[in-house]
């Protein structure tokens, strides 16, 4: 059966509901696709953030372990004066105070200019920057008794800021010491020692004491 | 899509048949009158949108054969169309069929034109159908279906005639030539003949043959195979007695119904169901072309297709939207979980960091500072160590007096590298921290009081060295100097006085401890 006529009304009749359904479904589909894309991008972003934070957290855990392990020692070294700027004034005062309190007949000291030191150990982090310095100190002491030398260095270790290392020392009994008075120099001592200091970030940021 | 409703149009009625499975069932009947048309209109108003095939079974259906020149394609189609229109100009219900060559050696070709000449029998029904926009898939007729029906049971002979009983006692006689219906008749009602039905049947066939011979559709001596779909027992006796010039083939109506899978009771007096069942199985090959009318069947199909496509699209969109939304919610939940984890980690991170305030030193710097301090301490020697070690032994040697004690921490590295004193031209060059390798101590003194007994003095010095070796941490103690150098290779000189109270027995010892291994 052939026809050359067309009835749009008939054709469209009954198509309204499916058409509207198709339109709504299409809109819902588009919206859901957009929402899906948005959520997927958000998820990827958060995943990447989590990865980054997770890495940071792992780094933090590692640092925490380092801190747990080194913090106390670091504080001790900081209290000792090893971590911090070299405080020569304190040294001189300590030497003078020790000599006075031990009633040493004479103490001569000689401090050489500070030198920068090559780091003896390497760090896993390239950002870890510290500066290590040393200053050589030559001491000439007149002692009444050799025990005074030990007492003197104990005082230095306790009160002078910095990590101290004595690498050379000689004690010489003075001729005729037995006939001298108890307060005279019986023994002369010549010692060479090195004072170490370390500058870390928190030292760099700290204010410099006036005159130093 | 199979047709499930039929409008069976006769001279005086329209019968609605509904397909039930593979068979048909008469639903309702409308007489060809104004009242009938009104009832039919009401019926269609109730059930308009059902695909329907109209089957016409009227007397006024004419066949006309034609001889065509040797043309083909659109020329032949146009030619046939013109001749069809010329022959049946007063009716829209017409169709032409191309039959092929007349004879093998002939240059002429045959065509047959068919039309329902009294269109007023069909028009009122078609108008109502069109008004109700009922999807009419086509208009066909019983003679046009006859060939298809006969082929269901037998292969038609060159000249065949299918005879079926219709509309009560009427006979439908369709002459089929070369597989195409070229003539059809509807007989008078023979139901009143009673016992003479067989004779009347034969008479009708004979009349039909004469008509065919007159119209030169069959020769006088040409064989004619007549196929009856009827009660075999009722008509077989009639054919036995017949001397007519045709060959009869009886197809029992029960067998025919069974073959077409028609369920329910069939009667030989009503073979319409047979034709319609055939139409359920397969759409008729030939249909009348309905011109200048809206094809609601095609529109219904297009509409259903559009609705189906829209519905399928909506379902597909909905499913896809569901999948996307599910995925989006999964992403959202995972994002929320991650967000919570991030917040927790950040909180932990912040708390952990706060614990170490106000230190600004990086943990790596701390480690570096501590490791450096440890390194320095490892390579240091306590100030009292040498003195205490020597003191362990000297307490038991009252006549051995030490005048000088010195010690030095020796480095394993190059002395130039370990030089911690600034040189003239290396002002800015950093120096190394010396790595302790050994501690060397020198001890010198004298034996006091000394009675001049050199042998005893040597013995005391050796005893002191041995004691230092055994009782201190020094691993090697060597006598560097005795009161006199008694080695054979050395030059030796001395002076002996009668009275000498100031004799001295000095000595010197070197003590060594390698601490490299201990440091490592």
CB-based contact B137:A1 (threshold 8 Å): yes
Q: List Cβ neighbours of B168 (8 Å cut-off, separation of 6 or more).
A: B189, B191, B269, B270
Q: Kindly state whether residues B254 and B333 are assigned to the same domain.
A: no
Instruction: Report how far residue B21's alpha carbon sits from residue B263's, in angstroms, rounded to the nearest whole number.
Output: 9
CA distance A69 to chain B (A): 8
Q: Is residue B109 part of a domain?
A: no
**CB contact at 8 A, B8 and B55:** yes
Chain A residues with CB-CB distance to B296 below 8 A: 7, 10
> Does B365 contact A130 at a Cβ distance shorter than 8 Å?
yes
Answer yes or no: is B106 within a domain: no
Give the span between the Cα atoms of B248 and B242, in whole angstroms.
10
Claim to verify: residue B146 and residue B15 sit in the same structural domain:
yes
B130 in any annotated domain: yes
Q: Is B455 domain-assigned?
A: yes
- Residues in chain A with CB shorter than 8 Å from the CB of B364 are 63, 66, 123-125, 127-128
Beta carbons of B294 and A6 less than 8 Å apart? yes
CB B5 within 8 Å of CB B17: yes
SS3 category, B182: strand
* Residues in chain B, overall count: 520
Residue B302 inside a domain? The answer is no
Shared domain check, B279 and B210: yes
SS3 B73: helix
Q: In this structure, how many other beta carbons lie within 10 angstroms of the beta carbon of residue A145? A: 12
Nearest CB to B292; choose among A4, A10, A136: A4
Asked if the peptide bond before residue B50 counts as cis, ω within 30 degrees of 0, the response is: no
pLDDT in tens, B295-338: 888 888 888 888 899 999 999 999 999 999 999 999 999 989 98
Helices (H), A140-198: 146-159
Q: What ipTM does this complex have?
A: 0.72
In a domain, B68, yes or no: no
Chain B residues with CB under 8 Å of A139 CB are: none
* B325 and B286 in a common domain: no
Q: What is the pLDDT of residue B405?
A: 92
Residue range B14-30, pLDDT digits in tens: 999 998 887 888 889 99
User: Which chain A residues are closer than 8 Å to B346 by Cβ?
Assistant: 53
Identify which of B345, B372, B401 has the shortest CB distance to residue A119.
Answer: B372
Pair (B15, B45) in one structural domain: yes
User: Cβ(B266)–Cβ(B273) under 8 Å?
Assistant: yes
* A48 in contact with chain B, both atoms CB, cutoff 8 A: no
The answer to the question of residue B78 being in a domain is no
Clarify whether residues B387 and B486 are in a common domain.
Answer: yes
Contact A117 B366 (CB under 8 A): no
Instruction: List the beta strands (DSSP E) in B32-71.
Output: 52-56, 61-68
Do residue A29 and residue B321 have CB atoms under 8 angstroms apart? yes
**Cα–Cα distance measured from residue B319 to residue B307, given in angstroms and rounded to the nearest whole number:** 18
A117–B432 C-beta distance less than 8 A: yes
Domain count, chain B: 3
Nearest CA in chain B to A162: B373
Residues B201 and B323 in one domain: no
Q: Indicate if B273 and B327 belong to the same structural domain.
A: no
Condensed to tens digits (0 to 9), the pLDDT of residues B183-215 reads 888 888 777 766 677 778 888 888 888 888 888
Task: Report CA torsion sign: B148, B152, B153, B157.
Answer: positive
What is the spatial distance between Cα B387 and Cα A189, in angstroms, rounded to a whole number? 13
Q: What is the largest CA-CA distance in chain B?
A: 196
Size of interface A-B (CB pairs under 8 A): 311
Task: Tell whether B484 and B336 lie within a shared domain.
Answer: no
Chain B residues in contact with A173 (beta carbon < 8 A): 401-404
B137 in any annotated domain: yes
pLDDT digits (tens, 9 = 90+) for B493-513: 877 777 766 677 899 999 998
Q: Which domain holds residue B124?
A: 5-60+118-294
pLDDT for A151-190, tens place per residue? 999 898 888 888 888 989 999 988 765 565 656 788 999 9
Name the minimum distance, in Å, from the CA of A124 to any CA of chain B. 7
Q: B400-411 and B247-252: which strand pairing?
A: unpaired
Do B338 and B393 lie in a common domain?
Answer: no
* Lowest mean pLDDT across B273-277, B382-386, B427-431: B427-431
Same domain, B276 and B333: no
In the block, residue with structure tokens 């002459």:
B175
Q: Within an 8 Å CB–CB cutoff, is residue A20 touching chain B?
A: no
Q: How far is Cα B344 from Cα B335, in angstroms, rounded to an integer?
A: 14
Residues B438 and B471 in one domain: yes
Cross-chain residue pair A1–B432, CB shorter than 8 Å: no
């Amino acid at each position: 059966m052939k026809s050359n006529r067309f009835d749009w009304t008939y054709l469209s009749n009954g198509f309204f509901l499916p058409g509207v359904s198709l339109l709504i479904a299409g809109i819902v589909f588009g919206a859901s696709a957009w929402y899906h894309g948005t959520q997927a991008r958000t998820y990827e972003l958060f995943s990447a953030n989590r990865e980054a934070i997770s890495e940071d957290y792992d780094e933090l855990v590692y640092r925490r372990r380092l801190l747990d392990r080194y913090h106390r020692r670091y504080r001790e070294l900081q209290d000792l004066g090893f971590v911090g700027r070299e405080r020569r004034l304190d040294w001189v005062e300590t030497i003078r105070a020790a000599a006075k309190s031990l009633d040493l007949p004479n103490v001569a000291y000689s401090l050489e200019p500070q030198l920068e030191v090559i780091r003896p150990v390497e760090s896993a982090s390239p950002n870890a920057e510290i500066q290590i310095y040393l200053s050589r100190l030559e001491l000439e002491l007149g002692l009444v008794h050799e025990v005074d030398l030990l007492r003197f260095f104990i005082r230095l270790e306790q009160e002078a800021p910095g990590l101290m290392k004595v690498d050379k020392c000689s004690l010489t009994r003075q001729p005729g010491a037995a006939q001298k008075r108890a307060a005279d120099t019986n023994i002369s001592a010549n010692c060479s020692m090195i004072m170490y200091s370390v500058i870390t970030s928190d030292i760099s940021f700290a204010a410099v004491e006036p005159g130093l | 899509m199979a047709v499930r409703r039929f409008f069976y149009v006769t001279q005086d009625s329209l019968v609605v048949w509904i397909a039930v499975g593979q068979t048909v069932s008469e639903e309702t009947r409308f007489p060809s009158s104004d009242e009938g048309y009104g009832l039919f209109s009401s019926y269609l108003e109730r059930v308009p949108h059902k695909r329907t095939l109209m089957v016409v079974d009227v007397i006024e259906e004419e066949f006309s054969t034609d001889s065509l020149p040797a043309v083909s394609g659109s020329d032949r189609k146009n030619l046939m169309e013109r001749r069809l229109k010329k022959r049946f100009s007063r009716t829209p219900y017409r169709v032409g069929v191309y039959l092929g060559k007349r004879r093998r050696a002939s240059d002429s070709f045959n065509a047959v034109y068919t039309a329902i000449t009294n269109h007023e029998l069909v028009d009122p029904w078609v108008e109502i159908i069109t008004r109700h926009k009922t999807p009419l898939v086509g208009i066909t007729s019983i003679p046009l279906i006859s060939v298809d029906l006969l082929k269901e049971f037998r292969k038609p002979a060159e000249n065949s005639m299918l005879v079926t009983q219709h509309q009560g006692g009427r006979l439908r006689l369709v002459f089929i030539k070369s597989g195409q219906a070229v003539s059809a008749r509807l007989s008078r009602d023979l139901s009143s003949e009673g016992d003479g039905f067989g004779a009347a049947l034969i008479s009708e066939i004979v009349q039909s043959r004469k008509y065919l011979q007159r119209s030169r559709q069959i020769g006088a001596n040409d064989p004619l195979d007549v196929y009856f779909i009827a009660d075999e027992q009722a008509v077989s006796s009639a054919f036995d007695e017949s001397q007519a010039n045709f060959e009869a083939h009886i197809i029992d109506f029960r067998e025919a119904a069974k073959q077409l899978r028609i369920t329910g009771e069939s009667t030989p007096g009503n073979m319409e169901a047979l034709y319609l069942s055939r139409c359920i199985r397969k759409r008729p090959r030939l249909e009348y072309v309905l011109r200048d009318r809206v094809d609601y069947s095609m529109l219904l199909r297009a509409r259903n297709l559009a609705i189906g496509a829209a519905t399928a699209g909506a379902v597909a969109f909905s499913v896809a939207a569901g999948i996307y939304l599910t995925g989006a919610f999964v992403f959202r939940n995972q994002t929320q979980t991650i967000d919570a984890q991030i917040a927790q980690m950040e909180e932990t991170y912040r708390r952990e960091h706060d614990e170490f305030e106000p230190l600004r030193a990086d943990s790596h710097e701390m480690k570096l500072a501590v490791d450096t301090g440890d390194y320095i301490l490892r390579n240091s020697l306590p100030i009292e160590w040498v003195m205490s070690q020597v003191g362990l032994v000297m307490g038991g040697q009252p006549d051995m007096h030490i005048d000088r004690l010195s010690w030095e921490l020796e480095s394993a590295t190059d002395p130039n590298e370990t030089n911690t004193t600034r040189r003239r031209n290396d002002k800015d060059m950093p120096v190394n921290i010396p790595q302790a390798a050994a501690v060397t101590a020198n001890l010198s003194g004298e034996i006091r009081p000394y009675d001049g007994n050199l042998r005893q003095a040597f013995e005391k010095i050796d005893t002191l060295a041995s004691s230092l070796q055994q009782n201190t941490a020094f691993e090697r103690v060597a006598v560097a100097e005795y009161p006199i150098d008694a080695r054979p290779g050395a030059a030796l000189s001395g002076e002996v006085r009668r009275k000498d109270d100031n004799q001295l027995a000095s000595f010197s010892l070197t003590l060594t401890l390698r601490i490299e291994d201990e440091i490592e």
